[in-house]
C-alpha cells in the first residue's frame, strides 16, 4: 500500500513539474498555439477513476440486493414464543 501511494505522489510531482516547465518554455508562443494542459487531464483522469470506483460499488450493491430478494431469508434458529 505504501509503495502505491509513493508511486502516485511521484507521478503527481512529475506531472506538476513538467507542466511548469512547459509553461515557462511556451510563454513566448502563447499567441501562436494553445498549450497542452496536462494537469487538467490528470485531474480528469483521477475523477474518472473515482467515479468508476463509486459506480462499481453502487452496481455491486444493487446486484447483491437483487440476489437476496430472489430467495427469502430463512433464519437458521428462529426464536419461538411460548
The helix/strand/coil state of 9 is helix
pLDDT (mean) for 75-80: 82
d(CA 39, CA 22): 11
What is the pLDDT at residue 72? 78
Answer whether residue 25 shows pLDDT above 60: no
* % the chain with pLDDT above 70: 73
d(CA 22, CA 46): 21
Write out pLDDT tens, residues 36-61: 688 888 899 999 999 999 999 999 99
pTM of the complete model: 0.45
Domain boundaries, the chain: 37-69
Amino acid at each position: 500500500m505504501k509503495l502505491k501511494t509513493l508511486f502516485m505522489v511521484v507521478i503527481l510531482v512529475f506531472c506538476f513539474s513538467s507542466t511548469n516547465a512547459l509553461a515557462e518554455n511556451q510563454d513566448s508562443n502563447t499567441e501562436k498555439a494553445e498549450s497542452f494542459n496536462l494537469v487538467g487531464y490528470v485531474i480528469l483522469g483521477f475523477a474518472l477513476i473515482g467515479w468508476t470506483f463509486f459506480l462499481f460499488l453502487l452496481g455491486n450493491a444493487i446486484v447483491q440486493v437483487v440476489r437476496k430478494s430472489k430467495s427469502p431469508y430463512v433464519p437458521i434458529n428462529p426464536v419461538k414464543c411460548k
